[in-house]
Amino acid sequence: MSQKRVAVVTGANKGIGFGVVKKLCANFNGIVYLTARDVGRGTKAQQDLAKFGLTAQFHQLDLDDMNSIDTFADYIRTTHGGLDVLVNNAAVTYKEFAEQAEPTLRVNYFGMKYLCHKLFPILRANARVVNLSSDDGHLTRVNGDEPFASKLREKLASTDLTEDELTQMVVTFIKCAKDGSYKTKGWPCSSYRMSKVAACALTRIQQRRCDQEPRLNILVNAVHPGYVATDATSHLGHMTIEEGAMAASYLALLPAGVCEPRGALVWHDKQVVDWINGPLPGDGY
């Protein structure tokens, strides 16, 4: 069994995920896994890295397939026995709303959560977990009709919120998106936005859980990468992939002696943002 340090980046065959892999390959002292749901695209990305003189291992991983997640987690556990860095980048986005609420949350929330359930038990001391969010993930983006939106924000912001309660809120959002009652019940008008709000709320829950074993100093943070020119933004973003990968890579590479940030939302320029009250820096990008 390998005793080398291990880093995993999901959804890494292109875009920000690929940019994070590049930075980790150049700066992480250990093995870096580039994962993708499509074997051909993942292998090509691995070959593209080699052109830069960088080496990453490839493993298939589809967050919309529990068997794929199980297979990958079992591989990491049996091959390496532990994990030091997890960057949860994989996500989907759709143009439609009501019809795509369930598939969006199935990958962006439920798939990520299930992968974390499988990998968190093997996180080593000083492990770093980075959940890719967005400026859309800020709590103020829960902005449906009042007073219901305020009540939703209050519940999401609670330090007593459990993962089961968060999951039930996501299930309720999906139901409201399907029947058209989402706005009048306080929910945002975007499934992607809801998935990123949920990712931030989950980040806080995960950090509280990790803090129960303070000697391990595991840091879990969410990150807004900025408005990056990727497929998700139809390449309209004004930031490069390298710029978009900067903050996530910074959090992934925080050294062992560092204890902050923890359970935070970190902006693309590395500043910690008040997730509950704001304000959001600049124009949100």
In the prediction, which pLDDT does 284 show? 46
Lowest mean pLDDT among 113-127, 154-168, 236-250: 236-250
Residues sharing a CB contact under 8 Å with residue 7, sequence separation 6 or more, in sequence order: 24, 28, 30, 31, 32, 33, 83, 84, 85, 86, 87, 252
Q: Which of 192, 227, 250, 285 is an active site residue? A: 192
Say yes or no: domain 6-95+105-136+193-273 is CATH 3.40.50.300: no
In the prediction, which pLDDT does 12 show? 97
Q: Does 192 participate in catalysis according to the annotation?
A: yes
- Residue scoring higher pLDDT (87 or 227): 87
Instruction: Establish how many alpha carbons lie within 13 A of residue 180's alpha carbon, considering only the half-sphere containing its beta carbon.
Output: 0
State the CB neighbour count (10 A cutoff) for residue 175: 14
Residues sharing a CB contact under 8 Å with residue 251, sequence separation 6 or more, in sequence order: 128, 130, 219, 221, 223, 261, 266
Read off the pTM: 0.96
Mean pLDDT of 42-56: 97
Written as six digits, the tokens of 134 are 């967005």
Residue with tokens 């590479």: 253
Q: Are 253 and 270 in contact (CB under 8 A)?
A: no
In the prediction, which pLDDT does 227 show? 72
Written as six digits, the tokens of 233 are 């933004």
Tell me, rounded to whole angstroms, the distance of Cα 242 from its chain centroid: 17
Mean pLDDT of 84-113: 90
In the prediction, which pLDDT does 235 show? 65
In the prediction, which pLDDT does 231 show? 63
Q: Would you call 279 exposed, middle or buried from its count of C-beta atoms within 10 A (0-12, 13-18, 19+)?
A: exposed
Helix axes 66-80, 112-119, angle to 10 degrees: 20
pLDDT tens figures, 238-275: 689 899 999 999 999 999 989 999 999 999 999 999 99
CA distance 177 to 8: 33
Q: Label residue 98 by pLDDT band (50, 70, 90).
A: low
pLDDT tens figures, 61-82: 999 999 999 999 999 999 999 9
In the chain, the percentage of residues whose pLDDT exceeds 90 is: 88
In the chain, the percentage of residues whose pLDDT exceeds 70 is: 93
Mean pLDDT of 118-127: 98
